[in-house]
Amino acid sequence: MNGGTRRVSRWLMAVALAIPALAQAQMNPIDDVLKLAFDAFNDFKYTTADTTARKVLLMQSASGAQRARAQMIIAASAYPEEVSAQKRLVAMAVLKQLLRTNYDAKLPQELTWVGLDSLMEEARRTTFGMQVTGEAQQVAVGVDGAAKLHFKSNKPGLFRLIITAKTGNAVAVVDSLIGTAEGDISFKTMRDEKPIFTTGDYNVMLTAFEPGARGDTVAVQYGLKVEAPALAFAEIPTRMDSTKLLQERSGKYGAKAVLPALLVGGAAFFISSQLHGDGALASGAADAKGMGVAGGLAAATIFAGFVDRGRMIPANMAANRAAGEAFQKSIVDAQTENRRRITEFKTVLTFDLGGR
């Protein structure tokens, strides 16, 4: 392909790519820089394209996709079809850096050619890299609710996931996957029936360790936004209100038994004073036996009054039993409600897998 044909081909590709961008009311400033870099590359100004694209790598607000695009432009500018402009070592180093955290990355047609594609595959074979994918928004429900991210690498290794809150850097989740080149790391969003996350922003740090004494280490950071409202529990009753219970027995006789005791004792004494042992009417004072009987009856009456527990009141007993059952039911109802709240509790996780 000669230079004129390549120029026309690139120009047509640039126009096709620019059409969607022109439809936007306002371009992203970083995308503007990337467009300038691509335009310079398209005009065979490889040094300008390289310098412009590298500015994106210095921008803290650049997304993972924008950084990857910048690295591709740098690699393409370092290894164009023109042999005199090729810088193979530079292109290889940039491609390796790209593939470390974007192992499945592919060069777009407008930037590559057969020679650069071959260099890309060589870099892929000789670089320890990983690719992380997953649903951007995941909803975890209940104690078994979990979110997951998928790891893929060109070599088996150790993959570690650490999630920390942006405010305070408190560690929320630590998990790992070992001995495989591809798999899922999943993590629950509740621990001991309590939410692990609160509403806010988090950092997701993913680190891959290549096996061996000289193994490489790859780390990438993603953003995570969590929506997890506070989990409020229904209050569980601990004590029954005893002031609402009714008296189940009538009042004790107690001291009120003294008067009846005196009456009983007096009556017994009177009768004993009027009768002889054989049942005939007495003509004299009551004997000592009659006094003992009267005293015993009086004492027994007083004793009975003090040990009396009162008369059972069935209606009050039934009311208290119903109150007790209602109290136990209120405990069960509160526990059931709390279980429902735990079971239905939702944590919404939104991952920004653009990466840094």
Per residue, what are the HEC states of the chain?
CCHHHHHHHHHHHHHHHHHHHHCCCCCCHHHHHHHHHHHHHHCCCHHHHHHHHHHHHCCCCCCHHHHHHHHHHHHHHHCCCCHHHCCHHHHHHHHHHHHHHCCCCCCCCCCCCHHHHHHHHHHHHCCCCEEEECCCEEEEECCCCEEEEEEEEEEEEEEEEEEEECCCCCEEEEEEEEEEEEEEEEEECEECCEECCCCEEEEEEEEEECCCCCCCEEEEEEEEEEECCCCCCCCCCCCCCHHHCCCCECCCCHHHHHHHHHHHHHHHHHHHHHECCCCCECCCCCCHHHHHHHHHHHHHHHHHHHHCCCCECHHHHHHHHHHHHHHHHHHHHHHHHHHHHHHCCEEEEEEECCCC
- φ/ψ of residue 314, rounded to 5: -55, -40
Buried b (16+ CB within 10 A) or exposed e, 278-301: eeeeeeeebeeebbebbeebbeeb
pLDDT for 299: 67
CATH topology for 131-229+346-352 is Immunoglobulin-like (2.60.40)
Q: How far apart are CA 342 and CA 193, in angstroms?
A: 7
Intervals of the chain under pLDDT 50: 1-2, 4, 8, 11, 15, 17-19, 21-25, 281-286
Give the per-residue pLDDT at 310: 62
Angle at 247 between CA 246 and CA 250, to 5 degrees: 150
Sign, CA dihedral 282-284-290-294, equals positive
pLDDT (tens digit per residue) in 231-267: 999 999 988 888 888 887 766 555 555 656 566 556 6
Q: For residue 89, what are its two tokens?
A: 């070592």
pLDDT, residue 305, reads 56
The pLDDT tens digits for 122-174 are 999 999 999 999 999 999 999 999 999 999 998 898 999 999 999 888 898 89
- Alpha-carbon distance 197 to 192, whole Å? 13
C-alpha 18/C-alpha 335 separation (Å) is 60
The per-residue pLDDT for 295 is 67
pLDDT for 249 equals 74
Please name which of 107, 204, 224 lies closest in space to residue 151, comparing C-alpha atoms. 204
Residue 72 has what pLDDT? 97
Domain ranges of the chain: 3-127, 131-229+346-352, 242-338
150 vs 138: CA distance, rounded Å: 13
